[in-house]
């Protein structure tokens, strides 16, 4: 079905051996006569020969391909990090296979298996604790793998994370400065032990304490997305309702904005808002939305670079954790 000209055809046509053609393909011209070189080159063009990477991989044991498994591709965070990973990889002529685990551990395991069977050279993953055993097995084998966005108690490994506590601290400090003294926070559930949520809530608590403001647990809403509307209602029905809210991520933000719109609260004036994660419409909104931006580009770049290094050196079992600094983008939703 496909153009099936192989290295043998080229060799025959050019009147040399397969070995020589292979040397040519791999740019090992050291001992090759100019003439042979030219002849092979010409033949390759004439026959429109395209090497079979599969055959090459079988022999060389590498595929110039990495796998990236994200927990939920709907987050802007994921798409941005992926783009950045791809940029780095594309420059180095590495292909990337992107997988969306949909926060389903089984699905993720399945992807890992498929990717490994396709012999990808390494993996970047947003890890789930349910699959800790599998990660550990791979790491023990010195299989190159980088964690992103989450830490696992059970498995130490090179990891890229946001300084989540700082993100919350920036938000709290900024809101307090702008005279919002009753600050709530909303995130997805904490029970799954997912690093960003845990750390963002912890950072929020610590920041309040730093300012000697008591932490009111009623102001901490960590619930599934489908219960957020109801919990927001409850939150603002409290005897002393908050006058500001921190949104834990971009999907939570959508819920909060929708609630605010529905109830005709005046953003900024009545309810101060800061969200973690920059969203494309933040500046278009009225009032524009104050965000805490993750350096997604740098994080993706670092993840890719770490992985590619690991693949090349095939050695260092680093367990370093790289923390990236969030930055506050002040707009109008946090100004009275």
Partner DNA sequence: CTGAAAGCGCTTACAG
Residue 114 interacting with DNA (CB under 7 A): no
Task: Classify residue 231 as exposed, middle or buried by CB count within 10 Å of its CB (0-12, 13-18, 19+).
Answer: middle
Beta strands 327-329; 290-293: pairing state: antiparallel
User: How far apart, in whole angstroms, are the C-alpha atoms of residue 164 and residue 160?
Assistant: 12
Please choose which of DNA, a copy of itself, none residue 332 contacts, taking the beta carbon within 5 to 8 angstroms, the exact cut-off set by kind.
none
Please choose which of DNA, a copy of itself, none residue 283 contacts, taking the beta carbon within 5 to 8 angstroms, the exact cut-off set by kind.
a copy of itself
Which of 7, 155, 171, 292 is close enough to bind DNA by CB under 7 A? 7
Q: For residue 289, what is the DSSP state?
A: P
Which of 1, 35, 217, 226 is close enough to bind DNA by CB under 7 A? 35
Residue 51 interacting with a copy of itself (CB under 8 A): yes
CB of 94 closer than 8 Å to CB of 123: no
Residue 22 interacting with DNA (CB under 7 A): yes
Tell the smallest beta-carbon distance from residue 155 to a copy of itself (Å): 18
- What residues from 118 to 157 belong to the interface with a copy of itself (CB under 8 A)? 118-119, 141-143
| Upper half-sphere CA count for residue 194 (Cβ side, 13 Å) | 19
Q: CA–CA distance from 96 to each of 181, 254, 292 (Å)?
A: 46, 30, 29
Stretch near a copy of itself under the rule CB under 8 A, chosen from 48-56, 172-180, 207-215, 270-278: 48-56
Which of 41, 46, 55, 137 is close enough to bind DNA by CB under 7 A? 55
Residue 192 interacting with DNA (CB under 7 A): no
Neighbours of 332 (CB within 10 A): 17
Looking at the Cβ atoms of 23 and 247, the one nearer to DNA is: 23
Looking at the Cβ atoms of 52 and 263, the one nearer to DNA is: 52
Looking at the Cβ atoms of 144 and 268, the one nearer to DNA is: 144
User: In Å, how far from its chain's centre is CA 81?
Assistant: 5
CB within 8 Å of 215: residues ≥ 6 apart = 205, 208, 209
User: How far apart, in whole angstroms, are the C-alpha atoms of residue 271 and residue 262?
Assistant: 14
Nearest to 336 by CA among 185, 211, 177: 177
CB of 53 closer than 8 Å to CB of 95: no
Neighbours of 47 (CB within 10 A): 15
Stretch near a copy of itself under the rule CB under 8 A, chosen from 23-31, 108-116, 201-209, 328-336: 108-116
Residue 284 interacting with a copy of itself (CB under 8 A): yes
CB of 124 closer than 8 Å to CB of 306: no
Which of 58, 225, 317, 321 is close enough to bind a copy of itself by CB under 8 A? 58
Residue 213 interacting with a copy of itself (CB under 8 A): no
Contacts to a copy of itself by CB under 8 A: 1-3, 50-55, 57-58, 63, 65, 73, 79, 83, 86, 93, 95-98, 100, 113-114, 116-119, 141-143, 254, 257-258, 261, 279-281, 283-286, 314
Q: Would you tell me which residues interact with DNA (CB under 7 A)?
A: 4, 6-8, 15-20, 22-23, 25-26, 31-33, 35-36, 49, 51-52, 55-56, 58-60
């Amino acid at each position: 079905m496909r153009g099936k000209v192989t290295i043998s055809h080229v060799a025959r046509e050019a009147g040399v051996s397969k070995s020589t053609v292979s040397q040519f393909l791999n740019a090992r011209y050291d001992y090759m006569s100019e003439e042979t070189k030219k002849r092979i080159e010409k033949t390759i063009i004439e026959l429109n020969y395209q090497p079979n990477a599969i055959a090459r991989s079988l022999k060389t044991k590498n595929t110039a391909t990495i796998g990236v498994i994200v927990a939920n591709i709907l987050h802007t965070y994921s798409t941005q990090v992926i783009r950045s990973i791809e940029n780095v990889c594309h420059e180095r002529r590495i292909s990337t296979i992107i997988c969306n685990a949909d926060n389903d551990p089984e699905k993720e395991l399945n992807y890992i298996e498929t990717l490994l069977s396709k012999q990808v050279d390494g993996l970047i993953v947003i890890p789930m604790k349910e699959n800790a055993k599998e990660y550990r097995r791979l790491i023990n084998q010195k299989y190159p793998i980088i964690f992103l966005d989450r830490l696992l108690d059970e498995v130490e490994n090179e990891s890229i994370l946001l300084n989540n506590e700082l993100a919350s601290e920036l938000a709290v400090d900024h809101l307090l400065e702008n005279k919002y003294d009753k600050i709530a926070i909303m995130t997805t559930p904490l029970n799954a032990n997912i690093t960003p949520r845990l750390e963002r809530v912890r950072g929020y608590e610590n920041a309040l304490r730093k300012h000697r403001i008591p932490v009111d647990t009623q102001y901490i809403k960590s619930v599934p997305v489908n219960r957020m509307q109801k919990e927001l209602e409850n939150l603002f029905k409290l005897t002393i309702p908050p006058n500001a809210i921190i949104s834990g991520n971009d999907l939570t933000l959508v819920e909060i904005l929708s609630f605010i719109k529905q109830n005709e609260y005046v953003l900024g004036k009545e309810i101060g808002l800061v969200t973690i994660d920059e969203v494309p419409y933040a500046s278009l909104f009225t009032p524009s939305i104050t965000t805490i931006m993750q350096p997604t580009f740098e994080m993706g770049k670092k993840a890719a670079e770490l992985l590619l290094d690991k693949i090349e050196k095939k050695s260092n079992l680093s367990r370093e954790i790289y923390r990236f600094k969030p930055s506050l983008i002040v707009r109008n939703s946090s100004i009275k």
